Amino acid sequence: MKEKVILAYSGGLDTTAIIPWLKENFDYEVICCCIDCGQEEELDGLKERAQLSGASKLYIEDVVDEFCDEYVLPCVQAGSVYENKYLLGTSMARPVIAKRLVEIARKEGATAICHGATGKGNDQIRFELGIKALAPDLKIIAPWRMTDIWTMQSREDEIEYCVQHGIDLPFSANTSYSRDRNLWHISHEGLELEDPALEPNYDHLLVLGVSPEKAPNEPEYVTLQFEAGVPISVNGDALKLSDIVRKLNELGGKHGIGIVDIVENRVVGMKSRGVYETPGGTILMEAQQQLEELVLDRATMEAKKDIANKLAQIVYEGKWFTPLREAISAFVTSTQKYVTGEVKIKLYKGNIIKAGTTSPYSLYSESLASFTTGDLYDHHDATGFITLFGLPLKVRALKLAEAEKR
């Protein structure tokens, strides 16, 4: 009986060419597994394509709700953004994909998992760290790093390889953007984006929405309701998280929200330039932050900023299944107990504008914040506070003055 390999299958040219390559070089039975994190129409025709290419079986696993509830939500609650711009769309999806690949491998009795990530990118790290953490006994095959037997170096090479193996597929060698899509976002790399000096061709590039210039001239108000840090409704309609993201993607895309052009630092050491569309996610994270401004104390907010950056790095580097990530998530969850309330925002030409936030647990006191003297605040108390708060500065200045006189 042949050994089985689970191939992380997207249906694209790379992973389609990998199917006959695995059979030819390893004599594996190839079982394709497409993990649906919200790729939409990209899933069309996958079964026929996989079978035509020589796969014995194709799994299409819907993990959209698991992705949103167990991977997206913890990062939203933490406020994690990599290098101040990237909302971790691809990074958050890789661990849930790795987890499901391992589950299918166990079910099928496979001895290996194969992925089509290149040797220059972050995804090879994310997939493989996830697999190692969950199934250290499974072999990992990364064709693009096996240059002794993976000799294809271009799309033309891959197409020719498929033709030689009797696979007639609707792929062309025409250049296009390299994209990764799920419910949270879509990323774009390649073409003019490879030169940081060039402006993105947004008319050609955008998929989820429009540029701010082409957004409606009239603003639109959106109201979100949260309960214990979990978004539960949009404009009064109670929805599960995945449907909230879908609805906000529609609204945000319409108004040019969430378009990010970034030169980021990959884990492998190089810089790469890409454009991310995250319309719904940008709205959701901004609304969460606005509510936290009302209900979290200063010290917790300061600690949470540090934690957010650390978690962003952990997720970006593929270290989801680690004790540190679990500990950070536990801390973040504890901060969300009172993050309950309503956030109203205005969407207008790429901008998210505050339009009012309320919470039963708000720490904001109008009597304290106003310029009118209230019962809880005596202006005279500020004198002693400033004296003690500024004491280190005063002592240092006095000591420096004494030293200069010597």
Catalytic residues: 14, 94, 123, 178
Distance separating alpha carbons of residues 166 and 149, to the nearest angstrom: 20
113 strand-pairing partners: 6, 140
- Structure letter (DSSP) for residue 255: T
CA atoms within 13 A on the CB side of 267: 17
CA angle 181, 102, 57 (to 5 degrees): 75
d(CA 305, CA 303): 5
CB-side neighbour CA atoms (13 Å) of 241: 24
d(CA 98, CA 93): 9
User: In whole angstroms, what separates CA 173 from the centre of its chain?
Assistant: 29
Question: How far is it, in rounded angstroms, from Cα 119 to Cα 365?
Answer: 55
Write the Ramachandran bin of 349: left for phi over 0, alpha for psi from -120 to 50, otherwise beta.
left
C-alpha span between 336 and 347 (Å, rounded)? 26
Secondary structure (DSSP) of 346-388: EEETTEEEEEEEE-TT----HHHHSSS--TT--TTHHHHHHHH
Instruction: Give dist(CA 25, CA 90) in Å, integer.
Output: 30
Residue 207 Cα to chain centre, angstroms: 17
- Euclidean distance between CA atoms 313 and 319, whole angstroms: 9
Query: Is residue 39 a contact partner of residue 64, using CB atoms and an 8 Å limit?
Result: no
Task: Specify the amino acid at residue 144.
Answer: W
What are the tokens at 297?
Answer: 């104390």
d(C-alpha 249, C-alpha 72), whole Å: 14
Count of all residues that appear for the chain in the document: 406
Q: Is 39 left (phi over 0), alpha (psi -120 to 50) or beta?
A: alpha
Dist CA 255 CA 31 (whole Å) = 42
For residues 36 and 63, is the Cβ–Cβ distance under 8 A?
yes
